[in-house]
Amino acid sequence: MKEIIVIVGPTGVGKTKLSIELAKKINGEIINADSVSIYKHLNIGSAKPTEQEQKEAKHHLIDIKELDEVYSIYDYQIDARKKIDEISSKEKRVIIVGGTGLYIKAALYDYRFTKGTTYNTYDSLTNEEIIEKITSKNMQLDIHPNNRKRLVRTLNKLENNEDITNYKNKPLYKLKIIGLTTARDNLYKRINNRVEKMIDNGLLDEVNNLKDKYTNSNILNNAIGYKEFRDYLFKNKPLSDVIEDIKKNCRHYAKRQYTFFNNQMEVKWFNVDYNDFNNTINEVEEYLKLTNI
């Protein structure tokens, strides 16, 4: 099997565009590693690849679950590894792209799960909110508030009443991990503009059409871009406040993504040229050639 290309980075940085352009150039197929894009009907708020983008390059693990279905990181591990084998058997290149770091780690590294156990990434929660959930279960906490990895694992253990994972930080495949980045101020500006564009493109209509689904849908109540609408739909919170909440939560999530990818993976980072994205594509291509991928 040839090396798997992994494209990571914070929300809104340009991962989808790069993955599609690379897929067209190297005869690749793309495996989604975004936990929200797994679900049907969440199109605008998830910023999943559009129908046109999915026609430009073959995508996998998008729109595979209904909103009331439970989909765990264990499920993703199984599905992603099957897709890796399937794509490789066709002599095509595997490209994994997304911002859900634990999905990527579970698929590509020696993560081991107890069958039937649900493992939550808690992407939508801050460290402080995770700590609140842990302490609410009458557990004394001896973990630094900034150690998100341990906080997430501890909360999952409590939720499942068992030690659910045993893993090694060793990849099971040959990998080339590409990271896209930009100056923090520029990223936050892009995130804010992206949220505004989502509203212009009909996010409010999308959410209104899903209102009845909030009762039984875990993803709607936890995914950034959707959870913020609960109070708007049921408690008359002003839309302007909701929009600001989404922007804030996206910015905080981007910070956590940087921390995860820097600490958990060997990433080759590229500063994105937004004036001419082709420069970024060419730079990544040259790197892949230089490393004999």
Low-confidence winner among 48-57, 88-97, 114-123, 208-217 (lowest mean pLDDT): 114-123
CATH code linked to domain 4-119+164-290:
3.40.50.300
φ, ψ of residue 41 in degrees (nearest 5): 75, -10
Q: What is the mean pLDDT of residues 103-115?
A: 84
The count of other CB atoms within 10 Å of the CB of residue 90 is 10
pLDDT on residue 134: 81
- For residue 9, the model assigns a pLDDT of 97
Residue with tokens 């990849």: 171
Q: Tell me which of 75-79, 120-124, 200-204, 250-254 is least confident.
A: 120-124
Q: For 146-172, what is the mean pLDDT?
A: 72
Residue 1 burial (CB count, 10 A): 12
Q: Cβ contacts of residue 148 below 8 Å, gap of 6+?
A: 127, 130, 256, 259, 260
Tens of pLDDT, residue by residue over 206-239, are 999 999 999 999 999 999 999 999 999 999 899 9
In the chain, where the domains are located: 4-119+164-290, 121-163
* Average pLDDT of every residue of the chain: 90
Type of residue numbered 171: P
- What is the spatial distance between Cα 57 and Cα 47, in angstroms, rounded to a whole number? 16
pLDDT band (50, 70, 90) for residue 124: confident
The pLDDT of residue 12 is above 80: yes
Q: What does the pLDDT read at residue 164?
A: 43
Position 235: which residue type?
K
Name the percent of the chain lying above pLDDT 90: 74
Residue 147 has a pLDDT of 83
* pTM for the structure as a whole: 0.83
* CA angle, 80 then 39 then 240, to 5°: 130
Q: Which residue has the higher pLDDT, 178 or 102?
A: 178
